[in-house]
């Protein structure tokens, strides 16, 4: 994305890419169906709680660490511990994400990377070179696009992976920001789904699609958007299995 594109809706052209509008609609329908499913229709808190933990574990697993939580004692892996802290703070971060997403990103990074660096001054401070693109991303999140929620969520996720703005825990931050976007846009208002599991189970394809998106090549952008929409659908299936187990 270029800063000049912000004069209009920079995501509008993405919706016209072959197959993207249909994939976004299919993903949205799958997620909405989970919200109308059984126990989730009445409340969904049990599904959301389990989904949050599974999302954190999968996000850490993508980074190459063991995602298993010990039966006893504290979580010692710093990446997993950070992902779990971010997940625990998810609901409290939402109001800030909606009005000041860059502040929320800084907080997410502090939580995710606290055990990964001895330089406390680096926590929550993105590379200044990334500021223009982060500012544009912030404008999109706060209402600067009419693109379908799955498309905006995918762009938030992909841009943060491409920018690597913090230098530590960027993957965990990107996936957490995508999760916040899903809730804030109303795509997944109760945070029931777990698309992170698809990213973990299909790591090679996930990494290849993210790299393709980062090139800004239209085919690469399409590959990423379609991957993300498929992950949203897979995340909805995961949510249904959680709800079935809780019933």
Residue 1 lies in a domain: no
Residue at 3 is within a domain = no
Q: Give the CATH number, domain containing residue 90.
A: 1.10.3290.10
How many domains does the chain fold into? 1
Question: Is residue 181 assigned to a domain?
Answer: yes
Instruction: Read off the pLDDT band of 233 (50, 70, 90).
Output: very high
Which run of H or of E encompasses 14? helix 12-15
In a domain, residue 235? The reply is yes
Tokens of 71: 């039966």
> Above pLDDT 70, what percent of the chain?
97
Q: Is the pLDDT of residue 58 over 80?
A: yes
157, part of any domain: yes
Determine the pLDDT at residue 6: 43
Each residue's pLDDT tens digit, 20-31: 999 999 999 999
Q: How far apart are CA 9 and CA 69, in angstroms?
A: 42
Question: How far, in whole angstroms, is CA 42 from its chain's centroid?
Answer: 25
Decide if pLDDT at 4 tops 50. Answer: no
Q: Average of pLDDT values for 190-218?
A: 98
* Helix (H/G/I), strand (E/B), else coil: 112: helix
Determine the average pLDDT of the residues in 82-96.
Answer: 97
Number of Cβ within 10 Å of residue 38's Cβ equals: 14
pLDDT of residue 7: 54
Task: Report yes or no on 206 lying in a domain.
Answer: yes
- Is pLDDT above 90 for 76? yes
Are 107 and 97 within 8 A, CB to CB?
no
User: What confidence tens digit (pLDDT) does each residue in 104-150 have?
Assistant: 999 999 999 999 998 999 999 999 999 999 999 999 999 999 999 99
CA nearest neighbour of 149 among 28, 53, 239: 28
Q: Is residue 47 part of a domain?
A: yes
Give the residue numbers spanning the domain of 110. 10-67+74-246
Residue 5 lies in a domain: no
Q: Does the pLDDT of residue 188 top 80, yes or no?
A: yes
């Amino acid at each position: 994305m270029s800063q000049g594109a912000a004069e209009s809706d920079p995501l509008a052209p993405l919706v016209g890419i072959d197959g993207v509008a249909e994939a976004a609609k299919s993903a949205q329908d799958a997620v909405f169906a989970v919200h109308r499913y059984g126990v989730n229709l009445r409340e969904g808190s049990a599904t959301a709680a389990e989904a949050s933990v599974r999302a954190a574990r999968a996000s850490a697993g993508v980074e190459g660490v063991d995602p298993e939580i010990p039966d006893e004692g504290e979580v010692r892996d710093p990446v997993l511990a950070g992902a779990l802290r971010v997940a625990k703070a998810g609901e409290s971060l939402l109001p800030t994400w909606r009005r000041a997403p860059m502040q929320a990103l800084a907080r997410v990074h502090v939580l995710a990377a606290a055990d990964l660096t001895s330089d406390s001054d680096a926590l929550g401070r993105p590379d200044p070179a990334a500021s223009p693109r982060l500012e544009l991303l912030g404008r999109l999140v706060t209402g600067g696009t009419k693109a379908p929620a799955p498309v905006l969520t995918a762009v938030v996720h992909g841009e943060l992976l491409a920018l690597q703005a913090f230098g530590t825990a960027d993957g965990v931050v990107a996936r957490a920001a995508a999760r916040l976007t899903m809730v804030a846009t109303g795509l997944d208002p109760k945070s029931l789904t777990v698309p992170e599991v698809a990213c973990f189970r299909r790591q090679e394809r996930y990494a290849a699609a993210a790299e393709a998106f980062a090139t800004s090549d239209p085919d690469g952008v399409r590959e990423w958007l379609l991957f993300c929409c498929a992950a949203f659908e897979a995340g909805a299936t995961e949510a249904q299995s959680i709800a079935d187990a809780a019933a």
